[in-house]
Amino acid sequence: MENMKVNMSIFFLLLISVACKPKTDLYLERGLDILSNTKEVNFNIYKEITINKIGVIRDQKEGIKTLVFKLDEDTSKEAFNNDNIFGVRVWIIDDNKNKRIENWDFKPKLIQVNKYKYITKEIKIKEDQIKKMKIYMFQEIENKKHKIGDSLMLNKVNTYND
């Protein structure tokens, strides 16, 4: 009887720990395979940095959206020069049909979850779709952007996934 109580306690602790895990972590652990809004791109953006998939994870419970770039498994931390900046330019149409352009530039940081490698960026957007997205890398020299590598242009990127 005592063994059964211990086993039940362990089971409920495991259940609670999995249920409390942020949604972003669950998608990253699985390689984005269950994320419904991913786009398969397989695009070499710069040198040894290849983006395989792009998606947006919306965690309603946490109230955040995360732009996720799943990278090729061979990508190394050495491929990221401290001077390089990841440029993301988006064209958005809001509910009132007003158009706006936003830049979500950031210093990329390679993260690894299980065998998967990612670059992530928390984004502030209430709309459920981005009309157009341009992704590129650049260096800032004398306060000016100098593009390096190639650019990727995507149409209709959904920012919801449930």
Q: What is the pLDDT of residues 88-141, one digit of tens each?
A: 999 999 989 999 999 999 999 999 999 999 999 999 999 999 999 999 999 999
With a CB cutoff of 8 Å and minimum separation 6, the contacts of 141 are: none
Q: pLDDT digit string (tens) for 69-79?
A: 999 999 988 88
**In this structure, is residue 4 part of a structural domain?**
no
The total number of structural domains in the chain stands at 1
pLDDT category of residue 57 using cuts at 50, 70 and 90: very high
Cα–Cα distance for residue pair 80/34, rounded to 1 Å = 28
Residue-level length of the chain: 162
* Tens-digit pLDDT profile for residues 32-49: 999 999 999 999 999 889
Question: Distance of CA 60 to CAs 108, 126, 158, 160, Å?
Answer: 25, 11, 15, 10
- Domain holding 153, by residue range, is 23-158
Q: How confident is the model at residue 22 (pLDDT cuts 50, 70, 90)?
A: confident
pTM metric for this prediction: 0.84
Whether 28 is in a domain gets the answer yes
**Domain for residue 99, yes or no?**
yes
71 belongs to a structural domain? yes
